[in-house]
Amino acid sequence: MSLSRSSHALVTGGGRGIGRAIASSLVKAGATVTIMGRNRKVLDEVVAAGDAHHAIAADVSDQAAMQAVISDAAKRQPIDILVANAGAAESAPFLKSDTALFQRMMDVNFMGVVHATHAVLPDMVARKSGRIIAVASTAGLKGYGYVSAYVAAKHAVVGLVRSLALEVATKNVTVNAVCPGFTETDLLEGSIDNIMSKTGRTREQAIAELAKHNPQGRLVKPEEVADAVLWLCGAGAGSITGQSIAVAGGEV
């Protein structure tokens, strides 16, 4: 599938893992791609490698900063595609998950999507053209033990997608979520380390513990998530909106 170079895509959390794979796939499809993250050095390395065209540094949980940097990016070229990918995961039993932990998970995983969408949606509605894709998780479609705050935040993302899609259905703006299962990323490394430290299992055993959720018996590859996102950006997916598509080997 190809996209016009006049299509401008913004990918939050674009420096690593799924976000970088998405940015790279959009570049290869012909779009102009701006990535966002907190680590400017990492972002610049992605641009230097040819996996994005522009980089902007911001914390997705900071509404004012998001509005400012996204407005600047849109002045360079109107944003046609938003991929709200930035995320974070912390694990703890519910009774040890305090208010601060829940707030951190909501600020990054949910409010980060809200802030980015608030910044791009008015222009998309005015131009009657746009694609918004949130990278949620199978955690937005089912429950997992010991990550209640993360699961709650991802469920909120799925709910937002379903509601917003209805609001803008007549504006030629589609809103969808892609929900990966356990995927080979830096973020997953933290979960692997946590299993190893708390259970004494080897790295291979820890990976197997996560991969067992996938009926295919493996971890998802970032490029597989990127392919789903790329399809949702294309003209052929114009009638797909309000959906939460699991990329998880049949887990959901």
With the CA atoms of 134, 222, 182 and 91 taken in that order, what torsion angle do they form, in degrees rounded to the nearest 10? Answer: -70
Provide the pLDDT for residue 198: 77
d(CA 85, CA 198): 28
Provide the pLDDT for residue 5: 61
Torsion sign, CA atoms 36, 42, 48, 49 = negative
pTM passes above 0.75: yes
Q: DSSP 3-state assignment of 178? A: strand
| Spatial CA neighbour of 35 closest among 222, 147, 48 | 48
Provide the pLDDT for residue 4: 67
Provide the pLDDT for residue 216: 95
User: Cα(first)–Cα(last) distance of the chain, in Å?
Assistant: 27
Q: What are the structural domains of the chain?
A: 8-181+221-247 (3.40.50.720), 184-219 (no CATH)
Provide the pLDDT for residue 85: 98
Sequence letter at residue 54: H
Provide the pLDDT for residue 191: 72
What positions carry a catalytic annotation?
150
Sequence letter at residue 70: I
Measured at the CA of 115, the angle between CA 133 and CA 1, to 5 degrees, comes to 20
Provide the pLDDT for residue 1: 67
Provide the pLDDT for residue 197: 77
- Walk along the chain (252 residues) and give the pLDDT tens digit of each residue: 668 668 999 999 999 999 999 999 999 999 999 999 999 999 999 999 999 999 999 999 999 999 999 999 999 999 999 999 999 999 999 999 999 999 999 999 999 999 999 999 999 999 999 999 999 999 999 999 999 999 999 999 999 999 999 999 999 999 999 999 999 877 666 677 777 777 788 878 877 777 888 999 999 999 999 999 999 999 999 999 999 999 999 999
